[in-house]
Amino acid sequence: MGFGGKVQHERSDAELLAAHVAGDRRAFGELFHRHQRQLHHLARLTTRTPEDAEDALQDAMLSAHRGAGSFRHDAAVGSWLHRIVVNACLDRLRRTKSHPTVPLDDVYPVADRTTQVETAILVHRALMRLPVEQRAAVVAVDMQGYSIADTAALLGVAEGTVKSRCSRARVRLAELLGYLNAGAHATPDRP
């Protein structure tokens, strides 16, 4: 309940974005807070490190904050935010591509690991081995639940491109996960 016994109306994403453009200082924060968890998850799945995910998300939100006035209302605000995050992640990955990284040891000091955590680690490792474009497509479609058409709009490519990227990514993931699974649970040869 609001002041004077009136029920407050929760503003839609489009209303929050319009209020932000009109000068409401709290509207963008509320919009970001509403989508923050999903956007962070998307950034984390698309980038290589938690730091890259945080930086890409910050870059994306600055871009969205500044570019809100140019939003064309031809897509959902949430889809627009997702596209900005994916693009920021891809930009960050392209910039860091020239800086080689050292693979981390396969040591995860987590006590009492569950099968679910182990599977998530294996899937994440496999995702990180996919080309960036395939990873972005398969994460959007198979993990975030976007349709082929929405993913095509998010990534700015044709639907057929999304389908082929997802198909190649799934084949490669099956190969990687089959290999990783066999390696993760292999037992030493007995004499």
Q: What CATH class is the domain 11-103?
A: mainly alpha
pLDDT of residue 30: 93
Q: How confident is the model at residue 73 (pLDDT cuts 50, 70, 90)?
A: confident
The whole-number pLDDT of residue 187 equals: 42
Instruction: Report which of residues 157 and 47 the model is more confident about.
Output: 157
Q: How far is CA 169 from the centre of its chain?
A: 16
Domain residue extents for the chain: 11-103, 111-186
Position 189 scores a pLDDT of 41
Q: What distances in angstroms separate CA 33 from CA 15, 27, 38, 115, one per listed residue?
A: 15, 10, 10, 31
Contact 31, 16 (CB under 8 A): yes
pLDDT tens readout for residues 100-119: 555 556 555 544 445 776 77
Is 138 in contact with 166 (CB distance < 8 Å)?
yes
Q: What is the mean pLDDT of residues 153-162?
A: 92
Residues 6+ apart with CB under 8 A from 5: none
Whether pTM exceeds 0.75? no
**Dist CA 123 CA 51 (whole Å):** 19
Across residues 6-26, what is the average pLDDT?
Answer: 85
Residues 6 or more apart whose CB falls under 8 angstroms from that of 83 comprise 75, 153, 154, 155, 156
Question: Structure tokens of 40?
Answer: 């962070």
Indicate whether 11 pLDDT > 60. yes
Pick the CATH number of 111-186 from 3.30.300.280, 3.30.70.360, 3.40.50.1820, 1.10.10.10: 1.10.10.10
